[in-house]
Amino acid sequence: MEFKDVEFSQIPAFDLLRSRLEALRPAYMLVKAGKEFDADLYRIYVQKTGAIRRPIDIGKNLLQDIEKNPRGSESNYTKGLLSKLDALIEVAIPGRDRS
């Protein structure tokens, strides 16, 4: 797969993605983003000071579903979407490397 660099502003639901990362892994910051256009996949790179850069691959459909979700934040559907996003973050940055 070949990822092309994209601006953070081009990523659907980016503000929510950033807030979820800050809540789950506060020591990490977003440093770079790319998109694989054929697979509709975003790769977000996160890093904390002195650590290696870690990729998080997130499907475009998941991000668009989060962005366009008309249901309230307490609905089971919304919770399911956020749970999927959180799981991708937690796989990329294991619990032992939280801070």
Calpha distance 39→36 (Å, rounded): 6
Domains of the chain: total: 1
Structural domain of 39 = 4-97
Asked if residues 35 and 6 have their Cβ atoms less than 8 Å apart, the reply is yes
What is the per-residue pLDDT for 99?
Answer: 53
Instruction: Provide the whole-model pTM.
Output: 0.88
What is the per-residue pLDDT for 1?
Answer: 80
Buried b (16+ CB within 10 A) or exposed e, 10-27: ebbbbebbeebbeeebee
Q: Is 74 exposed, middle or buried (0-12, 13-18, 19+ CB in 10 A)?
A: exposed
Q: What is the pLDDT along the chain (99 residues), one digit of tens a residue?
A: 899 999 999 999 999 999 999 999 999 999 999 999 999 999 999 999 888 899 999 999 999 999 998 887 889 999 999 999 999 999 999 875 655
What is the per-residue pLDDT for 31?
Answer: 95
